[in-house]
Structure 1
Amino acid sequence: MGKGGKASENGSAFPAPKYVSMDDVREHNRKGDSWLMIEGKVYDISRWGSKHPGGAKILNHFAGEDATDAWTSFHNDKDYVKKFMKSLYVGDVKDKEESDLQADFRALRKHVEDSGLLKTKPWFFCLHLGHIILMEIAAYCLVSYMGATISSFVLGAMILAVAQAQAGWSQHDYGHMSVFQSHKINHIFHHLVIGHIKAASSHWWNFRHFQHHAKPNVLKKDPDVDVAYLFLLGDYVPKSWALKKKGFMPYQLQSSYWFLIGPPLLLPIYFHVENLMFVFKRRDWVDLGMTITFFLRWFYLFGPVFGGWGVFWLYMFTRFLESHWFTWVTQMSHIPMKIAHDDNMDWFSMQLATTCNVEPGYFNDWFTGHLNYQVEHHLFPTMPRHNLHKIVPQVRAICKKHNIPYRCKTLYGAFADIVHSLKKSGDIWYEARHEG
């Protein structure tokens, strides 16, 4: 411990504290001048963004705020991370406050850690990855046996689409650091699964998805709701765009054209374009190389049967099928929920306002990659998904105590609510545009 320093509970040393107020913290809330509070300590993260593994944007989303629960939820390696935080230390907050709700959630977080609910069952993820590989082998064997026929093309694509959808849930596990204790090994497997099996960039996924978790459904902070040129979501954006006469789509019909340009095109078109733009802009040649290995494998396996263009269309048809699965599942828990500008809600309230669950069951769990436990996953993003069901009663109890709605729907009801929500937002736009 350095001279004049003090030791924290885990033994790491911080400089002798000086005290700042939360009003001081709130004043540093912009890019290039960003402070945030974690566990009562204030850090200047103005120049740390370029070094932060999650990127600068996710840090700036919490500038001027209490980021304690977000930081705790994203990091299982807190002692290691604190070593890097010492140089960013500004002072201790002298007037920090903790609401009853925050205290209850933080007590629940401690229970999660103490109960071993962040520990993985290795066999679960081995079996899951194994069944993806078996489906790809099955598709190859079927195509090789049947030859270049319409039946082999369609059946092969269907099997490959199932494998790709499940690989999407698998890479999600590694991306959230919820499989291995070692972050390095999680990163390696994430690169392998999302790159070699899914043909996408690991860093691109991290850039998008961590922002989504940090501020779900928050305009200008969650890239998943930044779709206004095609769809207007929530209550605020439709009216705002109508009054400003922005946009070019017939948004009053968006609940209908959703079926034409939403699920069918998200993976085959939008994500390919965005993924490639990200990789070339960042010059991320490692991720590009991993993507190339995917296509080399596909052309090597299926090229002798279908030829070059045949493999291309097999790939695009597989993505077309997978895209419907992926889009409905990932959007069912968010589009019908609160979508608005950041109002600095506490972590628990924010996640409950912007996410909802779908009923559990063997099929629903497998079909959604356990994203039917979306509330618990957003509250504890590093928790292995096989443990999410174990924490449901405690989360429900906090909701009941603090009178916070806990929404759980049927799978069909969750899908239908996407369309209902798009219809409602389209009507808001049309009425505001007509009145204007």
Structure 2
Amino acid sequence: MRPPQTAQQQYVSLYTDLLQAVRDLGLLRRRQGYYVTRMSIVLGALVAVAACFVLLGNSWHQLWLAGALALVLVQVAFLSHDSAHRQIFHSNARNDWTARILAGGVLGMSVSWWRAKHNKHHAAPNQVGKDPDVQLRAVAFHPGAVAARGPLGRWIAARQGWLFFPLLTLEGVGLHASSLTHLLRPGASRTDRIEAAVVASRITAYVAALYLLLPVGKASAFLGLQLAVFGVCLGAAFAPNHKGMPIAPAGTKLDFLRRQVLMSRNIRGGVLTDLAMGGLNYQIEHHLFPSMPRPTLRRVQPIVREYCEIHGIPYAEVGLFTSYRIVVGYLNNVGLRARDPFDCPLATELRTAGSAGGRDLA
């Protein structure tokens, strides 16, 4: 007769049982045909935009191409994200090199910088002191960040929800700058220095092409619009997934299943939502199975939702614009939550899971 499981073992078993069921259904198998097709379409679109840019010449209609280029580069970013999560190929090396080429050579971003930050986020989403996505300087995501500011900073924090999406227009510049800062830091590895050369070359070649083929005014407008649209579209795809969900104080102990489900939010929608968000609208499933190919997330969603319902775990899913309204409202009221950062509808569930789960299992 098997001895009874401890509370910690029961929580571990919840995720391992779900993982085994998903694996048995073949839902973790790679979808290389899907990704080869998508990469071919996206790279073909890049070539088409470049050809139209050259043919159009000195014209303000180039600004339409700036917007189109930004949208295509967002799709490149999603593909790099998937490859960095090793969703595309069976070989880890092929996934890693694909992510490096797409990020460094096409986007002008560092995949090593992004991966280090993103892995910390996946390990402890929305946890103070662990998730870098809630430790940004420009935006306060938890009451402690508001309390640490001066009077002007607190005044801005009370209105930061309205500033959040306008600030995303600077996200493109920020991603390039953060990448180079990371790669050129003192003590950077040889691999980082090689990646720095690739990223810097891509950025330099792109900017040089713009100013060689267009007058200064049009080139500057093209560059500014492309970076702004890219930042807004990419940020708008990532923002709804965790912002406005519970913030876990430093030291909170949660089992893996609850840590990923309770801190994440799915976005309802169809094919267009999937395209615009790169599959990140299935954020709960993506966090539970990071290496699962993007097109499979839709198939596993009803399984995960039913599993959560059976075990009494709240499963958050809203429409896209509702999610943006939640994000804006949450950010505008972060300072008002200073009395209890866990004061939310899921607080009881989190406290219960945390006390029963024992050590941090993520």
TM-score range, shorter chain: 0.7 to 0.9
Structure 2 counterpart of 1:326: 234
- Following TM superposition, by how much is the alpha carbon of 1:123 offset from its aligned partner in structure 2, in angstroms? 1.9
Distance 1:401 1:146 in 2: 58
Structure 1, 119-128 or 155-164: larger mean CA deviation: 119-128
Provide TM-score, normalisation by structure 2: 0.84
Structure 2 counterpart of 1:105: 15
Distance 1:149 1:375 in 2: 45
Q: Once superposed, what is the RMSD of the aligned Cα atoms?
A: 2.6
Distance 2:11 2:164 in 1: 38
- Following TM superposition, by how much is the alpha carbon of 1:272 offset from its aligned partner in structure 2, in angstroms? 2.8
Distance 1:99 1:211 in 2: 24
Distance 1:192 1:311, change over 3 A: farther
2:305 matches 1:401:
no
Structure 2 counterpart of 1:290: 198
Distance 1:197 1:312, change over 3 A: farther
Distance 1:241 1:302, change over 3 A: closer
- Following TM superposition, by how much is the alpha carbon of 1:121 offset from its aligned partner in structure 2, in angstroms? 1.8
| Correspondence for 2:321 among 407, 412, 430 | 412
Structure 1 counterpart of 2:183: 279
| Correspondence for 2:144 among 221, 237, 260 | 237
Structure 2 counterpart of 1:385: 294
Q: RCO (CA 8 Å, sep 6+): is it higher in 1 or 2? A: 2
Structure 1, 273-282 or 183-192: larger mean CA deviation: 273-282
- Following TM superposition, by how much is the alpha carbon of 1:240 offset from its aligned partner in structure 2, in angstroms? 4.1
Q: Which amino acid aligns with 2:248?
A: A
Distance 2:135 2:114 in 1: 15
Decide whether the 8 Å contact of 1:213 with 1:378 is kept in 2.
yes
- Following TM superposition, by how much is the alpha carbon of 1:198 offset from its aligned partner in structure 2, in angstroms? 0.8
2:64 matches 1:155:
yes
Distance 1:160 1:356 in 2: 29
Taking only the aligned residue pairs, the percentage that are identical comes to 23
Decide whether the 8 Å contact of 2:161 with 2:329 is kept in 1.
yes
Q: Secondary structure at the match of 2:86?
A: coil
- Following TM superposition, by how much is the alpha carbon of 1:400 offset from its aligned partner in structure 2, in angstroms? 1.0
Distance 2:307 2:52 in 1: 51
Q: Secondary structure at the match of 1:335?
A: coil
Distance 2:197 2:22 in 1: 38
Structure 2 counterpart of 1:63: none
- Following TM superposition, by how much is the alpha carbon of 1:263 offset from its aligned partner in structure 2, in angstroms? 1.1
Structure 1, 191-200 or 415-424: larger mean CA deviation: 415-424
Q: Secondary structure at the match of 1:371?
A: coil
- Following TM superposition, by how much is the alpha carbon of 1:314 offset from its aligned partner in structure 2, in angstroms? 3.0
Distance 2:206 2:155 in 1: 37
Q: Secondary structure at the match of 1:129?
A: helix
Q: Which is strand-richer, 1 or 2?
A: 1
Distance 1:119 1:312, change over 3 A: farther
Distance 1:151 1:292 in 2: 28
Distance 1:190 1:249, change over 3 A: farther
Structure 2 counterpart of 1:373: 282
1:240-251 map, 5 Å: 240-241=147-148, 247=153, 250-251=156-157
Provide TM-score, normalisation by structure 1: 0.70
Distance 1:362 1:383, change over 3 A: same
Distance 1:239 1:226, change over 3 A: closer
Structure 1, 292-301 or 99-108: larger mean CA deviation: 292-301
Distance 1:219 1:179 in 2: 32
Q: Secondary structure at the match of 2:61?
A: helix
Q: Secondary structure at the match of 1:339?
A: coil
| Correspondence for 1:315 among 207, 220, 223 | 223
- Following TM superposition, by how much is the alpha carbon of 1:276 offset from its aligned partner in structure 2, in angstroms? 1.6
Distance 1:429 1:114, change over 3 A: closer
Q: Which is helix-richer, 1 or 2?
A: 2
- Following TM superposition, by how much is the alpha carbon of 1:363 offset from its aligned partner in structure 2, in angstroms? 0.3
Decide whether the 8 Å contact of 2:84 with 2:96 is kept in 1.
yes
Decide whether the 8 Å contact of 2:128 with 2:134 is kept in 1.
yes
Please list the CA deviations of residues 36-88 of structure 1 after superposition, one character each: whole Å capped at 9, or x if unmatched. Answer: xxxxxxxxxxxxxxxxxxxxxxxxxxxxxxxxxxxxxxxxxxxxxxxxxxxxx
Q: Which amino acid aligns with 1:124?
A: Y
Q: Which amino acid aligns with 2:21?
A: H
Q: Secondary structure at the match of 2:175?
A: helix
1:200-211 map, 5 Å: 200-211=109-120
Decide whether the 8 Å contact of 1:298 with 1:311 is kept in 2.
no
Distance 2:262 2:152 in 1: 27
- Following TM superposition, by how much is the alpha carbon of 1:397 offset from its aligned partner in structure 2, in angstroms? 2.0
Structure 1 counterpart of 2:347: none
Distance 1:406 1:96, change over 3 A: closer
Q: Which amino acid aligns with 1:266?
A: E
| Correspondence for 1:181 among 90, 93, 96 | 90
Distance 2:200 2:253 in 1: 42
Distance 1:288 1:101 in 2: 43
Structure 2 counterpart of 1:127: 37
Q: Which amino acid aligns with 2:213?
A: V
Displacement over 6 Å in runs of 4+: none
Decide whether the 8 Å contact of 1:135 with 1:159 is kept in 2.
no
Please list the CA deviations of residues 98-134 of structure 1 after superposition, one character each: whole Å capped at 9, or x if unmatched. Answer: 4434323211111222332221222211122122212
1:56-135 map, 5 Å: 98-135=8-45
1:208-223 map, 5 Å: 208-223=117-132
* Structure 2 unmatched runs, 5+: 340-362
Distance 2:122 2:152 in 1: 28
Q: Secondary structure at the match of 2:72?
A: helix
* Structure 1 unmatched runs, 5+: 1-94, 431-436
* Residue-pair matches, total: 331
